[in-house]
Chains A and B, each alone.
Chain A
Amino acid sequence: MHELGIVFYIIRDVKQVAEANHVEHVASVVMDIGEVSTVVPHLLGDCWRWAADKEPLLQGCELEMNTIPAVTWCDQCKSEYPTVAHGRTCPHCGSGNTWLLRGNEVEIREIKV
């Protein structure tokens, strides 16, 4: 639901980088999207197409999305586990004393020009 706002942020950032590098057209933008970032990739893609085509710099520009698997760390038994399958509770020891290591990213990795 917030994907359109995120697309506007991406466009703003890419425009800045393009300007600084004297780039006239961007062929693709590569994103790292964490599994638990609350961004829905296909909605981000739809919003991207709609908004990017309005910018001469980004017409036809692809949005490539890499999914970063979410991993949680358990402070109790000092081990890692996949977040999506088990949530906040460690599957090894049952502790709730856990925190997210990665999987929350919404990052622009690079652009191809």
Chain B
Amino acid sequence: MDALRVIEIKKSVFADNDCDADALRKELKEKGVFLLNLMSAPGSGKTTTLIQTINRLKDSLRIGVMEADIDSDVDARKMREATGVESIQLHTGGMCHLDAEMTRQGLDALDLNATDLVILENVGNLVCPAEFDTGAVRNAMILSVPEGDDKPLKYPLMFSVCDVVLINKTDVMPYFDFSLERCKKYIHERNPKAQVIPICAKTGEGVDVFVRWLKDQVNNWKQ
């Protein structure tokens, strides 16, 4: 048997995705399109929060939505019916996250010349989506009150990659042992720069604060 030859590689498996993501961000900058990557656990209220947000923004910005799920198109249809904005469904084919290449495929299906803001609703999952840069300009995540205020301790990477954390379902706070102060402290231990915005997507409370943040981000990006 021939002796084995060793070829040294020394390369992170995420390196190619990181390159793709940077290239995608550069293209989006040239086109003046802002991409927001929204992440959370399943059932934290991503779709409801987006509907509230988009209905407040759609008169001033041209918006497209990409819904990523393992299967079904229920989110894309719900989004289209509730907001009227262009909404496409991406299937990850069993994978627990989107990467930059999959995001690019989704963007190709939207008319980017007539879009200011694209929102990517990532697969509901607090682990994997945080590992893969999608090429988004900003990352946002939603933590809902029933999930507990200790989640920043358990899923540190997710909280450290996010620019903004929305604490959703504040209306049920009295029924859960959820301390907003404790939660903020845990988030800022992992990510001192993260903005924390309490909202209730069902009643719309606090959504305006997030809308202002998003509008500022989009305007800065387009300059």
Q: Mark A69-109, 1 if CB is under 8 A from B, else 0.
A: 00000000000000000001000000010000000011111
Q: Is the pair A38, B9 in contact by a Cβ cutoff of 8 Å?
A: no
Q: Is the pair B189, A88 in contact by a Cβ cutoff of 8 Å?
A: yes
- Smallest Cβ distance from B18 to chain A, in angstroms? 11
- Say if the beta carbon of A42 comes within 8 Å of chain B: no
Q: How far is the CA of A110 from the CA of B14 in the complex (A)?
A: 16
- Chain A residues with Cβ below 8 Å from B127 are 1-2, 38
- Say if the beta carbon of A6 comes within 8 Å of chain B: yes
Residue of B nearest to A110 (CB): B8
Q: Is the pair A1, B96 in contact by a Cβ cutoff of 8 Å?
A: yes
Q: Is the pair A96, B189 in contact by a Cβ cutoff of 8 Å?
A: yes
Which residues, 1 to 15 on A, are CB-close (under 8 Å) to B? 1-2, 4-6, 9-10, 12-14
- Chain A residues with Cβ below 8 Å from B12 are 105-107
Partner of B13, one of A27, A38, A107: A107
- Smallest Cβ distance from B135 to chain A, in angstroms? 16
Q: Is the pair B7, A113 in contact by a Cβ cutoff of 8 Å?
A: yes
Q: How far is the CA of A16 from the CA of B26 in the complex (A)?
A: 25
Q: Mark B114-158, 1 if CB is under 8 A from A, else 0.
A: 000000000001011001100000000000000000000000010
- Chain B residues with Cβ below 8 Å from A57 are none
- Chain B residues with Cβ below 8 Å from A96 are 189
- Say if the beta carbon of B95 comes within 8 Å of chain A: yes
Number of interface residues of B (CB under 8 A): 26
Which residues, 185 to 212 on B, are CB-close (under 8 Å) to A? 189-190
Q: Is the pair A109, B125 in contact by a Cβ cutoff of 8 Å?
A: no
Among A9, A17, A23, A96, max chain B CB count under 10 A is at: A9
Q: Is the pair A5, B132 in contact by a Cβ cutoff of 8 Å?
A: yes
Task: Tell me how many residue pairs across A and B have CB atoms closer than 8 Å.
Answer: 74
Q: Is the pair B131, A38 in contact by a Cβ cutoff of 8 Å?
A: yes
Q: A106-B13, A109-B10 are in contact. Are A5 and B97 (CB under 8 A)?
A: yes
- Say if the beta carbon of B73 comes within 8 Å of chain A: no
Number of interface residues of A (CB under 8 A): 27
Q: How far is the CA of A90 from the CA of B200 in the complex (A)?
A: 37
Q: Is the pair A112, B13 in contact by a Cβ cutoff of 8 Å?
A: no
Residue of A nearest to B190 (CB): A88
Q: Is the pair B9, A4 in contact by a Cβ cutoff of 8 Å?
A: no
- Smallest Cβ distance from A52 to chain B, in angstroms? 14
Q: Is the pair B11, A13 in contact by a Cβ cutoff of 8 Å?
A: yes
Q: A2-B131, A38-B127 are in contact. Are A111 and B157 (CB under 8 A)?
A: no
Interface residues of A (CB under 8 A from B): 1-2, 4-6, 9-10, 12-14, 17, 21, 23, 27-28, 38, 88, 96, 105-113
Q: With contacts A2-B96, A4-B95, A108-B13 known, what are 12 further pairs, Cβ within 8 A?
A: A5-B97, A9-B14, A9-B16, A12-B16, A13-B9, A14-B9, A88-B190, A105-B12, A106-B13, A111-B6, A112-B4, A112-B5
